[in-house]
Amino acid sequence: MPELPEVEALAGYLRERAVGRRVDRIEVAAISALKTYDPAPSAAAGREVVDAGRHGKFLDVRLDGELHLVVHLARAGWLHYREAFNSTLPLKPGKGPIALRVRLDDGSGFDLTEAGTQKKLAAYLVTDPALVPGVSRLGPDALATDLATFTERLRSRRGQVKGVLTDQEVLAGVGNAYSDEILHVAKLSPFALTNRLSEAQLATLHAAVREVLGDAVARSMGQRAAELKGEKRAGLRVHARTGLPCPVCGDTVREVSFADSSLQYCPGCQTGGKPLADRRLSRLVR
């Protein structure tokens, strides 16, 4: 799932490659992916791409005359930049993984794609990004938050730190993968309660957020957009590494499963050597 570092890198790539070009046209293949109908996609035709940026995990492609294509890539969405398209024919609706195609005036452009059967990718064509409900509710950006703001935000929500860190209304940009990494660096249990964290633990957690996201952004920038996904995996310490040794202490990385997600952590680094209860697993054992 693309999070702050990947979306930041995609925005960086678009700033380099697409800014200054004009939109030829936007083609919508998955009708359900486009969440707005006014302005219509045809309103983008002829407008220059003037900037690309990010609001939390939302990508924002700004066109002149204040029109924004705002995209949330969801779990399996991605942006593929094409130097050229094979065909000038419009996309056929409902076929294949492409949700939306943006053609630029030099023949290049990009496809927004989504793998799998669950279609959650969401695109919005708006005159102001704040008109996108998920954007207007975002908390401060995880990478731009100072310690005082971070502490205030974390304390505003009582709950397990993993859930609070990934709540986009508390802090924007951190998802399932990087929260596992951040908690590992901070040596905190994912189930630690935010209202019980000391000042020192909050300061360590804040530093870990900046370190993990900052490193991931640095790794991702400069990579070609098509290669970003693999690069993310290469830098991870615990996320998606169940059963492998922790690179810090050598203990075995463990997992807790939920209905539609899972988290990974190192007992040696994060929970005093004690594995956390995995509800699914204990049910099987019983």
CB of 262 to Zn ion, least distance (A): 18
Coil, strand or helix: which one is 15?
A: helix
CB of 270 to Zn ion, least distance (A): 7
Determine which residue in the list 195, 249, 258, 273 makes contact with Zn ion, applying CB under 5 A: 249
Determine which residue in the list 72, 98, 269, 271 makes contact with Zn ion, applying CB under 5 A: 269
User: Mask: binding to Zn ion, 24-53, rule CB under 5 A, as x and -?
Assistant: ------------------------------
CB of 244 to Zn ion, least distance (A): 11
In the chain, alpha helices (H): 4-17, 133-136, 147-155, 161-165, 176-185, 199-220, 228-234, 267-270, 279-285
CA distance 255 to 241: 9
DSSP code of residue 7: H
Q: Is 193 in the site for Zn ion (CB under 5 A)?
A: no
Q: Is 268 in the site for Zn ion (CB under 5 A)?
A: yes
Determine which residue in the list 19, 45, 248, 276 makes contact with Zn ion, applying CB under 5 A: 248
**Contacts of 178 by beta carbon, 8 Å cutoff, 6+ apart:** 3, 4, 5, 212, 213, 216, 239
CA distance 147 to 153: 10
Q: Is 244 in the site for Zn ion (CB under 5 A)?
A: no
CA distance 196 to 83: 52
User: Judged by CB under 5 A, which stretch of 122-130, 175-183, 215-223, 266-274 contacts Zn ion?
Assistant: 266-274
Q: Is 23 exposed, middle or buried (0-12, 13-18, 19+ CB in 10 A)?
A: buried
CB of 222 to Zn ion, least distance (A): 30
Determine which residue in the list 49, 212, 246, 256 makes contact with Zn ion, applying CB under 5 A: 246
Q: Which residues bind Zn ion (CB under 5 A)?
A: 246, 248-249, 251, 266, 268-269
